[in-house]
């Protein structure tokens, strides 16, 4: 099932069930007002959404979709936890910063808590106050979790996955070094994160969601030029590992968002899911990073296609604007 | 006005307005179901809550209160942002860890994003899986914010303060050094935070809320022994500074929780608002920290009294249990 949130002027928007071709949808308002409310009482609501989805597929109901009217599936969420599960990316970014590699890189996930109260929709403009802050995108896979108990082992963690989606974890690269030097992690260097139009139940990915990893390429482009399409299956830590780490000392509430970190492959021919990785590769190859960070007017597009070429989550398409 | 959340089995609990003596309350269910809903449409709801409060004060309605039935004012919140605005505390804790002082300590606040999906109520037990993790409390002042626009200047930041409350930012001290060494800030070293029974509109503090600081002692005790009662007015950064920093690159949604960081005074005779500070003082005085971190069965109490000795926010009273 494909769930999405239509903007309707309210804080949480309105839940819609979207057809396989993304061309039609059925508002779920007769069942539940918005996605968070569905997650709050999933066992009761989910069968009703499935029935709506069946009726939509059979053409019994529904209306033409308007993807541009969609916001983030959760316009405000109770948590946004972001990992950095692609070790290749960590190695490259740290090299770019001249920072040492963290100890235990391969044994314990890096994870930070992001802001979650104001999340951006897939087509929302991204306001940038100062180009010198070095705006970069980071294309990621994300999960929406069910209630997840403290101390859940990795072996049972995937039972708590409700939905899968894409995220763009916007980063202000030039604000990162000074902030991390303070020792408390990211804060102002991470403005509001964006999410894909659609959030999918894991069954929609079929065999491509395996071992807690999404085994498909994630495509990122800037101004129509492909920056990379690395395989998201090359995660060092699986989502099971990430959930277990996130819940090690506290419970997570239904609707918690959990990100994979920037998708990255060891094979440089696959390109990158953020500009800093591309810049690092340029620097290592030629002694100079030639790709600039994003400027006003730049457009970033992130999407994931299935092997037939169909878009799974819809696309994140955002423009950088002054503000 | 004093607002609180009665546990009723739902995720958000039920909003109640509490009398000045904390001995009676009036459920707000005829107006709004819970505190987050009130914050979502404050301008509409607040006058109705004021009327309820007046009727409660005049004895026209209300019922005997049961403070032990209260949870956190926001049992789940969209953000929990915690600063470290008492520089004295940072200096002492870093000395205890053998960590260098961050650059710009006096010019830019230290701030981290905490988990906010599962918050503890004032009388909830605190589950500790391993005493070796070094459980410590951190007594703080917290705010509940209104919608706060990105880039709000400090000069206008206090317009966005809705409520003031107390927080206990539980910390697993022995997990901190390894986690901070990874460079992404706190995560598993910060289990769920606890909040006071009552959240007060700023006017209730009168002249004690001045210059974006609460100028009253914050009392912390363990097993009935006073650990400290430092003056919360000795914040280096005001809450206006903290709000401006938190909103520098993103907007904050209504219901965002913002903490002061552990209250700390330069005068050692005022004691401490956490054990690590007490341990550091012991270490500096005698070469040895004699106070242990919390053990199973230990009880922590945090409260703030007005000059007449009346409790302003009710008390946080929690017991450490196995789990």
Sequence-separated (6 or more) residues with CB below 8 Å from residue A143: A161, A162, A163, A164, A165, A239, A243, A257, A258, A259
pLDDT of residue B158: 98
Question: Which of A195-204, B49-58, B274-283 has the least mean pLDDT?
Answer: B274-283
CA distance B125 to A167: 36
Q: What is the pLDDT of residues B262-311, one digit of tens each?
A: 999 999 999 999 999 999 999 988 999 999 999 999 999 999 999 999 99
Do the Cβ atoms of A102 and B190 come within 8 Å? no
pLDDT of residue B209: 98
Asked if the model's pLDDT at residue B20 lies above 90, the reply is yes
Q: What is the pLDDT of residues B219-243, one digit of tens each?
A: 999 999 999 999 999 999 999 999 9
Pairwise pLDDT comparison (A91 vs A129), residue with the higher score: A129
Asked if the model's pLDDT at residue A102 lies above 80, the reply is no
Say whether residue B78 is in contact with chain A using an 8 A CB cutoff. Answer: yes
Taking contacts as CB-CB distances below 8 angstroms, the residues of chain A near B117 are 78-79, 251-253, 255-256
Cβ-contact B88, B106 below 8 angstroms: no
Stretch 267-306 of chain A: residues touching chain B, C-beta under 8 Å: none
Q: Find the helix or strand (DSSP H, E) in which B263 lies.
A: none
Taking contacts as CB-CB distances below 8 angstroms, the residues of chain A near B175 are 249
Say whether residue A188 is in contact with chain B using an 8 A CB cutoff. Answer: yes
Taking contacts as CB-CB distances below 8 angstroms, the residues of chain A near B190 are 249-250
CA distance A97 to A103: 17
Mean pLDDT on B130-152: 98
For residue A163, list its beta bridge partners.
Answer: A144
Q: What is the pLDDT of residues A38-77, one digit of tens each?
A: 999 999 999 999 999 999 999 999 999 999 999 999 999 9
Question: Which of A47-56, A83-92, B24-33, B286-295 has the least mean pLDDT?
Answer: A83-92
Q: How far apart, in Å, do the first and last CA atoms of chain A sit?
A: 37
Pairwise pLDDT comparison (B284 vs B161), residue with the higher score: B161
CA distance A218 to A215: 9
Do the Cβ atoms of B186 and A186 come within 8 Å? no
Do the Cβ atoms of A113 and B185 come within 8 Å? yes
Phi, psi of A283 (to 5 degrees): -65, -45
- How far from chain centre, in Å, is Cα A284? 28
Taking contacts as CB-CB distances below 8 angstroms, the residues of chain B near A99 are 183
Distance from CA of A223 to the nearest CA of B (A): 24
Question: Taking CA B317 as the corner, what is the angle to CA B16 and CA B163, rounded to the nearest 5 degrees?
Answer: 40
Sequence-separated (6 or more) residues with CB below 8 Å from residue A20: A2, A57
Stretch 92-111 of chain B: residues touching chain A, C-beta under 8 Å: 99, 102-104, 108, 110-111
Sequence-separated (6 or more) residues with CB below 8 Å from residue B149: B247, B251
For residue A24, list its beta bridge partners.
Answer: A64
Sequence-separated (6 or more) residues with CB below 8 Å from residue A88: A234, A264, A265, A266
pLDDT band at A98 (very low <50, low <70, confident <90, very high): confident
Sequence-separated (6 or more) residues with CB below 8 Å from residue B204: B1, B2, B164, B312
Report which of B54, B61, B58 is spatially closest to residue B27, judged by C-alpha positions.
B61
Say whether residue A251 is in contact with chain B using an 8 A CB cutoff. Answer: yes
CA distance B185 to B175: 11
Percent of chain B with pLDDT over 70: 99
pLDDT of residue B95: 76
**Per-residue DSSP letters for B1-37?**
-EEEEE--SSSS-EEEEE-TTSSEEEE-TTT-SSHHH
Taking contacts as CB-CB distances below 8 angstroms, the residues of chain A near B189 are 249
Asked if the model's pLDDT at residue A196 lies above 80, the reply is yes
pLDDT band at A182 (very low <50, low <70, confident <90, very high): confident
Distance from CA of A218 to the nearest CA of B (A): 25
How are beta strands A135-136 and A139-145 bridged, if at all?
A: unpaired
Cβ-contact A23, A65 below 8 angstroms: yes
pLDDT of residue B104: 85
Say whether residue A117 is in contact with chain B using an 8 A CB cutoff. Answer: yes
Angle between helices A275-286 and A87-97 (to 10 degrees): 60
Report which of B106, B80, B22 is spatially closest to residue B56, judged by C-alpha positions.
B22
Do the Cβ atoms of A186 and B185 come within 8 Å? yes
Q: What is the pLDDT of residues B71-115, one digit of tens each?
A: 999 999 999 999 999 998 888 877 776 778 877 888 999 999 999
Residue of A nearest to B104 (CA): A182
Stretch 160-179 of chain A: residues touching chain B, C-beta under 8 Å: 172, 175, 178
**What does the H/E/C string look like for chain A?**
CEEEEECCCCCCCEEEEECCCCCEEEECCCCCCCHHHHHHCHHHHHHHHHHHHHHHHCCCCCEECCHHHECCCCCCCCCEEEECCCHHHHHHHHHHHCCCCCCCCCCCCCEEEECCCCCECCCCCEEECCHHHCEECCEEEEEEECCECCCCCHHHHHHHEEEEEEEECCEEHHHHHHHHHCCCCCCCCCCCCEECCCEECHHHHHHHEECCEECCECEEEECCEEEECCEHHHCCCCHHHHHHHHCCCCCECCCCEEECCCCCCCCHHHECCCHHHHHHHHHHHHCCCCCCCCCCCCEEEEECECCCCCECCCCEEEEEEEC
Say whether residue A129 is in contact with chain B using an 8 A CB cutoff. Answer: yes
Do the Cβ atoms of B252 and A185 come within 8 Å? no
CA distances from A197 to A70, A201, A274, A313 (A): 6, 14, 20, 6
CA distance A124 to A273: 19
Say whether residue A261 is in contact with chain B using an 8 A CB cutoff. Answer: no
> DSSP assignment, residue B170?
-
Mean pLDDT on B26-48: 98
Q: Suggest the residue from B76, B77, B115, B261 to mutate for an interface test with chain A (most A CBs closer than 10 A).
A: B115
CA distances from B47 to B1, B164, B187 (A): 11, 18, 39
Asked if the model's pLDDT at residue A225 lies above 90, the reply is yes
Report which of B137, B164, B156, B160 is spatially closest to residue B253, judged by C-alpha positions.
B160
CA distance A193 to B115: 16
Q: Which residue has the tokens 């604007």?
A: A321
**Per-residue DSSP letters for B185-245?**
--STTS---EE-S-EE-GGGGGGGEETTEE-SB-EEEETTEEEE--BGGG-SS-HHHHHHH
Asked if the model's pLDDT at residue A93 lies above 80, the reply is no
Task: Name the pTM for this structure.
Answer: 0.97
**What token pair was written down for A315?**
């696309």
pLDDT of residue B181: 86
Distance from CA of A133 to the nearest CA of B (A): 10
Q: Which of A112, A181, A256 sits opposite B187 (nearest CB)?
A: A112
Say whether residue A91 is in contact with chain B using an 8 A CB cutoff. Answer: no
pLDDT of residue A244: 98
CA distance A280 to A169: 19
- Residue B95 three-state SS: helix
pLDDT of residue A91: 85
Sequence-separated (6 or more) residues with CB below 8 Å from residue A219: A226, A228, A229, A301, A302, A303, A304, A305
Mean pLDDT on A230-258: 98
pLDDT band at A266 (very low <50, low <70, confident <90, very high): very high
Do the Cβ atoms of B104 and A182 come within 8 Å? yes
Mean pLDDT on A24-43: 98
Do the Cβ atoms of B115 and A183 come within 8 Å? no
Q: Find the helix or strand (DSSP H, E) in which B140 lies.
A: strand B139-145
Q: Find the helix or strand (DSSP H, E) in which B184 lies.
A: none
pLDDT of residue B109: 94
Longest dimension (CA), chain B: 61
Say whether residue B182 is in contact with chain A using an 8 A CB cutoff. Answer: yes
Q: Suggest the residue from A9, A113, A245 to mutate for an interface test with chain B (most B CBs closer than 10 A).
A: A113
For residue A19, count other CB atoms closer than 10 A to its CB: 17
Residue of A nearest to B189 (CA): A249
Mean pLDDT on A133-151: 98
Cβ-contact A134, A174 below 8 angstroms: yes
Burial of B161 (0-12, 13-18, 19+ CB in 10 A): buried
Q: In what order do the strands lie in the sheet with B219-222?
A: B126-128, B316-322, B299-303, B219-222, B225-228
> DSSP assignment, residue B305?
B
Question: Which of A292-306, B92-106, B123-137, B187-201 has the least mean pLDDT?
Answer: B92-106
Q: What is the pLDDT of residues A286-295, one digit of tens each?
A: 999 999 999 9
Question: Which of A228-232, B108-112, B178-182 has the least mean pLDDT?
Answer: B178-182
């Amino acid at each position: 099932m494909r769930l999405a949130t239509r903007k309707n002027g309210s804080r949480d928007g309105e839940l819609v069930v979207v057809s396989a071709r993304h061309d039609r949808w059925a508002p779920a308002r007769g069942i539940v007002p918005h996605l968070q409310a569905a997650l709050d009482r999933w066992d009761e609501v989910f069968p009703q959404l499935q029935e709506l989805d069946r009726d939509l597929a059979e053409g019994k109901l529904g209306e033409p979709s308007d993807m541009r009217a969609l916001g983030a599936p959760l316009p405000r969420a109770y948590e946004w936890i972001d990992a950095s599960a692609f070790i290749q990316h960590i190695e490259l970014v740290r090299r770019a910063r001249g920072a040492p590699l963290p100890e235990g890189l391969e044994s314990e996930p890096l994870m930070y808590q992001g802001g979650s109260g104001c999340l951006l929709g897939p087509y929302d403009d991204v306001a940038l106050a100062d180009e010198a802050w070095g705006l970069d995108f980071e294309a990621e896979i994300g999960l929406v979790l069910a209630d997840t108990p403290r101390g859940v082992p990795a072996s049972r963690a995937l039972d708590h996955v409700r939905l899968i989606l894409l995220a763009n974890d916007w980063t202000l690269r030039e604000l990162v070094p000074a902030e991390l030097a303070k020792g408390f992690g990211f804060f102002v260097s991470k403005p509001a994160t964006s999410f894909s139009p659609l959030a999918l139940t894991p069954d929609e990915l079929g065999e491509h969601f395996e071992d807690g990893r999404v085994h498909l390429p994630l495509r990122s482009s800037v101004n129509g030029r492909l920056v990379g399409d690395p395989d998201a299956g090359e995660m060092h830590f699986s989502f099971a590992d990430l959930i277990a780490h996130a819940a090690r000392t506290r419970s997570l509430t239904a609707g918690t968002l959990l990100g994979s970190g920037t998708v990255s492959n060891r094979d440089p021919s696959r390109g990158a899911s953020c500009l800093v990785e591309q810049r690092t590769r340029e620097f290592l190859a030629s002694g100079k990073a030639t790709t600039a960070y994003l400027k006003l007017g730049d457009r970033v597009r992130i999407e994931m296609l299935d092997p037939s070429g169909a878009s799974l989550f819809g696309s994140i398409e955002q423009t950088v604007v002054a503000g």
